[in-house]
Amino acid sequence: MTSLAEEIRGYVVAEFLDGEDTADLTADFDLITNGVVDSLGVVQIVSHLSRTYSIPVDDIPLVPDNFRSIGAMSAFVEDATKAAV
Provide the pLDDT for residue 11.
Answer: 96
Nearest to 57 by CA among 69, 70, 45, 65: 45
The string of pLDDT tens digits covering residues 61-80 is: 888 899 999 999 999 999 98
Distance CA 61, CA 2 (A): 23
The string of pLDDT tens digits covering residues 20-77 is: 889 899 999 999 999 999 999 999 999 999 999 999 888 788 888 999 999 999 999 9
Q: Give the three-state DSSP class for 65.
A: helix
For the chain, how big is the Rg over CA atoms in Å?
12
Contacts of 45 by beta carbon, 8 Å cutoff, 6+ apart: 11, 12, 37, 67, 73
* Whole-structure pTM value: 0.87
